[in-house]
Amino acid sequence: MKNKLILASASPRRVALLKQLNIEPDDIIPADIDETPMKGELPRDLALRLAIGKARKIAHKNPQSYILAADTVVGAGRRILDKAEDELFARKCLNTLSGRRHRVYGGIAIITPEGKEITRLVETLVQFKRLTKNEIDTYIASKEWQGKAGGYAIQGLAESYIKYIKGSYSNVVGLSLYDTMNMLNGAGYLK
């Protein structure tokens, strides 16, 4: 019998992305961990630390399963742009990203039934065009920013603001399909 795959995330985007790979988790168990960045922690380090932390928390109570966890962090230089929970913060994020490049870091962690940890950090470079006040107002009114790292969701209206992208598009959505597929293969889940 094949071991279960548990997705340690409540993100509907990650579930939808996995469906694109014809992978349906046997269970979805969100890992409730403290996501506060440590003092001086860089965006890339935070993304990987959170993915590993989520995977370990769920693996602890599900030792016979494959655990897949991920986290997405938007970084503007050394600054971490958190999830936008209100309009003011979303507007601040969009103003910060307007006309400049930023990086989206995707931490991915898989723990096998044998307890082996496989981790990867995926980096995507994204450049927004210079946004007008009207474009920012329109985006804020769309509500697509709610709960999104960096205050935007690439798979909606914000895609029309992106001038340049280098790297995995699905990483910006929430989970790099290329890396996840390779990691699950390497972990023995897809065999």
CATH number for 35 = 3.90.950.10
Angstrom distance (rounded) from CA 173 to CA 88 = 22
Stated as kind and residue range, the H or E segment containing 142 is helix 133-142
Q: Could you give the maximum distance between any two Cα atoms of the chain, in Å?
A: 57
pLDDT digits (tens, 9 = 90+) for 71-105: 999 999 999 999 999 999 999 999 999 999 999 99
Domain encompassing residue 10: 5-187
Could you tell me the sign of the dihedral formed by the alpha carbons of 50, 74, 121, 46, in that order?
Answer: negative
Q: Is 26 a catalytic residue?
A: no
pLDDT value of residue 191: 74
Q: How confident is the model at residue 60 (pLDDT cuts 50, 70, 90)?
A: very high
pLDDT digits (tens, 9 = 90+) for 126-167: 999 999 999 999 999 999 999 999 999 999 999 999 999 999
- Average pLDDT across the chain, whole number: 96
Total domains, the chain = 1
pLDDT digits (tens, 9 = 90+) for 14-43: 999 999 999 999 999 999 999 999 999 999
| pTM beyond 0.85 | yes
Query: What letter does residue 89 receive in the DSSP assignment?
Result: H
| Catalytic position from the list 32, 71, 137, 179 | 71
Angstrom distance (rounded) from CA 177 to CA 90 = 27
